[in-house]
Amino acid sequence: MKASIKAALISALVFPGLGHLVLRRGARGLLFIVPTLLAGGYLLRATLTLAGTLMDEVNSGRLPPDPLLVLERVHNSGIDNPVTNGAALVCILCWIGSVADALWLGRHR
């Protein structure tokens, strides 16, 4: 298997930018790894904070354990805002970009 294909698969299936390590282009890989980690960390923190809040409300009895009511509460929580949407977009763009860049690097090597 060609190194570029292997790098693209690692970046696509494991984590964006890790395939660049196979190509010995670690600094370039960090351009994909760092933004993805920061954006993913923000999304994880926001999700866990909301989940903790919802669990507290369900456990205290303020929110019935009805899936439709919980879903409505999630929609009303404001988690769907420009910052979280931007963080998700950064993750998607880094993922796609790292695969494309790994393939490009392999062909121009």
Q: What would the pLDDT profile of 33-87 be if each residue is shown by its tens digit?
A: 999 999 999 999 999 999 999 999 999 999 999 999 999 999 999 898 999 999 9
Tell me: pLDDT of 109 over 80. Answer: no
pLDDT on residue 106: 78
pLDDT on residue 4: 85
pLDDT on residue 69: 92
pLDDT on residue 3: 85
pLDDT on residue 34: 98
pLDDT on residue 18: 94
pLDDT on residue 33: 97
> Are 64 and 109 spatial neighbours (Cβ–Cβ below 8 Å)?
no
> Are 27 and 40 spatial neighbours (Cβ–Cβ below 8 Å)?
no
**Least confident piece of the model among 12-16, 25-29, 105-109:** 105-109
pLDDT on residue 80: 87
Residues 6+ apart with CB under 8 A from 26: 20
> How far from the centroid of its chain's Cα atoms is residue 16's Cα?
9
